[in-house]
Amino acid sequence: MLEKFTKGKTKEILLILVILILVIILSARKGSDEVLETIDTKELINNVKDNYSLMISISDSFENKVYNYSTDSDITLIDKGDYSDKGYLLYKNETYLIDTENYKLTKTTPIDFIYEPFINMELIKKLFNHCDLKFINDTNKTCTIKINDYLKEYNNVYNTDYSAEDGTMTIYVCFYPSRIYSISLEYTDIDRIINNGNDTLKYELRFTDFNNNDFNDIKKYYKDVLK
């Protein structure tokens, strides 16, 4: 009888423990959901100022290319992420080729492997005024905007007059509670209108650092060139 009583108590205790664990898990999950619901993703995007670093991934039907991009608002550095000893420096609307092996800086033609408007953060921020972000999961949201709304914002920034009768583009945002991790934009239809593109095109902007770039030493070193 004592053995049956002990077994019965043990089962009761185990059941109570299981219930307590479930309550804790569900409470934590509810708290997490409440935190996620209060995150203003658009505010996180607007907090991206003019000093940051990116990994820019550009994908079409044939390949995916990755570039490293850093700016301190005055100087912008770009390399092709292919371990080459050459990169690019952008300063006062001029483009310079950097030969890091020989420490040379030479003025060159503007880069054509990244279309600047497609990474223009001030333009990208304005796009979110035209759509409501919706959760995909805990750390990802998406929204769809009309192509014509994109073109209106583009026209305002670049003084052009593009338009479209219909169509939409999709934006994906990955975020942490404290900052944006990445923004992905489907540019296929936009590229056809602006650049006569004939392929699929997607840009992913992955933020790797914020507010830590200071390229004054570069400006001092190349003071005879960067005037």
One domain, residues 30 and 45: no
66 with 154, same domain: the answer is yes
With respect to residue 170, please indicate whether it lies within any of the assigned structural domains.
yes
Q: What is the mean predicted confidence (pLDDT) over 32-58?
A: 78
| Domain count of the fold of the chain | 2
Alpha carbon distance 89, 94 (integer Å): 8
For the residues 78-100, what does the mean pLDDT come to? 84
H or E segment and range at residue 33: helix 2-38
Lowest model confidence (mean pLDDT) among 1-15, 52-66, 132-146, 151-165:
1-15
Mean pLDDT over each residue of the chain, to the nearest integer: 84
**Is residue 217, in this structure, part of any structural domain at all?**
no
Contact 172, 145 (CB under 8 A): no
One domain for residues 9 and 86:
no
Q: Left (φ > 0), alpha (ψ -120 to 50) or beta: where does 211 sit?
A: left
Q: Is the pLDDT of residue 28 over 50?
A: no
The reply to whether 108 and 18 lie within a common domain is no
Nearest partner of 120 among 52, 214, 192, judged by Cα: 52
Element (H, E) at 64: strand 64-71
16 pLDDT higher than 70: no
- What does the pLDDT read at residue 225? 86
Identify the bridge partners of residue 183 per DSSP, sorted by sequence position: 173, 205
Decide which of 102 and 162 is more confident. Answer: 162
Mean pLDDT confidence for 17-33? 45
* Whether 134 and 25 share a structural domain: no
Percent of the chain with pLDDT over 90: 64
In which residue are the tokens 């185990």 written? 14
- Residue 216 belongs to some domain of the structure: no
Q: Is position 227 within any domain?
A: no
Amino acid at 135: F
What range defines the domain where residue 17 resides? 1-38
CA-CA distance, 56 to 69, in Å (whole number)?
A: 7
2-11, 25-34, 112-121: range with highest mean pLDDT: 112-121
User: Per the structure block, which two tokens stand in for 117?
Assistant: 């408007």
Query: pLDDT category, 39, cuts 50, 70, 90?
Result: low
Q: What is the pLDDT of residue 223?
A: 87
Report the CATH number at residue 69.
2.50.20
Over 90: is that where the pLDDT of 83 sits? Answer: no
Q: What is the pLDDT of residue 102?
A: 80
Q: Are 95 and 47 in contact (CB under 8 A)?
A: no
Is residue 49 one of the residues assigned to a domain? yes
**Nearest 10 degrees: Cα torsion 215, 219, 221, 222:** 130
Residues 96 and 4 placed together within one structural domain of the fold: no
Q: Same structural domain for residues 119 and 153?
A: yes
How far apart, in whole angstroms, are the C-alpha atoms of residue 210 and residue 215?
14
Residues 19 and 94 in one domain: no
Same domain, 81 and 153: yes
Name the pTM for this structure: 0.81
Please name the helix (run of DSSP H) or strand (run of DSSP E) that holds residue 91, with its range, or none: strand 86-91
What pLDDT score was predicted for residue 33?
A: 42
Evaluate if residue 160 carries a pLDDT over 50: yes
Tokens found for residue 179: 């900052």
Classify residue 117: in a domain, yes or no: yes
- Whether 197 is covered by a domain: the verdict is yes
In this prediction, residue 151 carries a pLDDT of 97
Per residue in 108-137, pLDDT tens?
Answer: 999 999 999 999 999 999 999 999 899 999
Flag whether 224 is in a domain.
no
Is the same domain home to 15 and 86?
Answer: no
pLDDT at 20 over 90: no
What is the per-residue pLDDT for 13?
A: 54
